[in-house]
Amino acid sequence: MALVWLMVFLTSVSGLLQMEEDPNVLIKNLRMEPGERRLTWDLHGNVSEIMCFINSKLITKAIDNNRYCQFHVLPLCEVRNFTISLTKGPPFLMGIQYPLQEGNPGAAAQRLDCWVHDVDFLTCSWEVGREAPSDVQYRLYWQELRTHREQECPHYEMDDRGRHVRCRFNDVSRLPKQLQILVRGTSHGARIPCLDRSVELSEIERLSPPNITAMCNKSYSMMEWKASSHVNLRFEYQLQIQKLQENFFQIHNPGNYMARLKVKGFFRNTWSEWSAPQYFVCDLGEDSQWPNWLLTTLVLLGTLLVPGLAVVLCGRYSVLQKLFPPIPHMKDPITDNLEGSKLVAWEASRASREDCPVAEVQVLGET
């Protein structure tokens, strides 16, 4: 039975070798051209269409009369299977592995993660490989996709054993919008494989929620904000307003309310954190647009000025009384004597106890 299996195996191998050496094979010498980022081959004859795959996933179609497949990004560290196949004709499949594996994969950096934050900063972090030697050291580089230009990280953070585990770039506005991030390892006694990741800065940005400013009165509230970013130009917002324990997004006759905001890049999936809640006082009178700090200041000033003004006025009145005493008015012989007296009806026929002359007064008109 073992002899039968051996004969079958030898027959299969000889068939494969014969197929590879068959002069009628249309595609030969499959190879990678890293500088051009393309998978190419020697084509002998006419074929309808060639498809290119990475790890069995369709990536692109061959161009230039089926001479090669062009890739936007090539892996620099992780080994992957590149294969080609024909869409028509007899079944055909050919593949290579790229790049070549160097060193122990368990010694390479792991869990590489990068993010843009606080408008200006790019930070990347990684973990030390589980099988890394004790003297391993890692360094991070970004590489521009078009020119292959590289730059090393200027600011590292280390773990308790002095190994680099984090990197920060301070001015993200000077970086290309698309990068390939590489973490290379070194050791005196072993070769350390690298770890790479392709990133688009607009996709990895963690936006900070903008601050809200508002102008309002009893009838309406106008809120404004502005998100800041060097890599995203369009944004979506979510505004949450809290008033009397109700959440809604349109305000009519707003009164006093609390609001907070979060933001994300347009066509992106990651939202920022909610901003700190901000309180707005709008019911200050018709057409009033005073900010909260001004209202508070006016209330405090009013509280302090009213007692002081009262003291000043009282003191000023006392001084004026002393400098300019009131002038006595002339005495009216009639009205002054009537103060506090009772009026009684006059009876002409009744003799008065006092012999007072009486004069008749004729009313000529009313004014």
- Which range is least confidently modeled, 13-17, 115-119, 344-348? 13-17
Confidence of residue 277 (pLDDT cuts 50, 70, 90): confident
Confidence of residue 252 (pLDDT cuts 50, 70, 90): low
| 217 and 190 in a common domain | no
C-alpha 144/C-alpha 220 separation (Å) is 50
Structural domain includes residue 329: no
The better pLDDT of the pair 154, 222 is held by 154
| 242 and 177 in a common domain | no
Q: How confident is the model at residue 131, as a pLDDT?
A: 96
Residue 319 has pLDDT above 60, yes or no: no
The better pLDDT of the pair 13, 152 is held by 152
| 119 and 68 in a common domain | no
Please name the amino acid found at residue 274. Answer: W
Q: How confident is the model at residue 353, as a pLDDT?
A: 45
Confidence of residue 212 (pLDDT cuts 50, 70, 90): confident
| 198 and 250 in a common domain | no
Q: How confident is the model at residue 142, as a pLDDT?
A: 95
Last residue of a domain, one of 98, 133, 161: 98
Q: Give me the CATH number covering residue 190.
A: 2.60.40.10
Last residue of a domain, one of 146, 172, 203: 203
| 137 and 64 in a common domain | no
Structural domain includes residue 134: yes
Q: How confident is the model at residue 105, as a pLDDT?
A: 93
The rounded percent of the chain whose pLDDT value lies above 90 is 43
Alpha-carbon dihedral 255, 261, 266, 268, rounded to 10 degrees: -150
SS3 for the chain is CHHHHHHHHHHHHHHHHHHHCCCCCCEEEEEEEHHHCEEEEEECCCCCCEEEEECCEEEEECECCCCEEECCCCCCCCCEEEEEEECCCCCCEEEEEECCCCCCHHHCCEEEEEEEECCCEEEEEEECCCCCCCCCEEEEEEEECCCCCEEECCEEEECCCCCEEEEEECCHHHCCCEEEEEEEEECCCCCEEEEEEEEEHHHCEECCCCCCEEEECCCCEEEECCCCCCCCCCEEEEEEEEECCEEECCCCCCCEEEEEEEEEECCCCCCCCCCCCEEEECCCCCCCCCCHHHHHHHHHHHHHHHHHHHHHHHHHHHHHHHHCCCCCCCCCCCHHHHCCCCCCCCCCCCCCCCCCCCCCCCCCCCC
The better pLDDT of the pair 320, 72 is held by 72
Range of the domain at 70: 27-98
Alpha-carbon dihedral 171, 173, 179, 184, rounded to 10 degrees: -10
Cβ neighbours of residue 200 under 8 Å, at least 6 residues apart? Answer: 177, 178
Structural domain includes residue 367: no
Residue 127 has pLDDT above 90, yes or no: yes
Structural domain includes residue 244: yes
Q: Give me the CATH number covering residue 37.
A: 2.60.40.3850
Residue 13 has pLDDT above 70, yes or no: no
Q: Tell me: the pLDDT tens digits for 22-72?
A: 667 889 999 999 989 999 999 988 888 999 999 999 999 999 999 999 999
Q: Structurally, how many domains does the chain consist of?
A: 3
Q: How confident is the model at residue 181, as a pLDDT?
A: 96
Last residue of a domain, one of 73, 98, 123: 98
Structural domain includes residue 294: no
Question: pLDDT averaged over the chain?
Answer: 78
Q: Tell me: the pLDDT tens digits for 60-84?
A: 999 999 999 999 999 999 899 999 9
Structural domain includes residue 333: no
Structural domain includes residue 182: yes
Structural domain includes residue 14: no
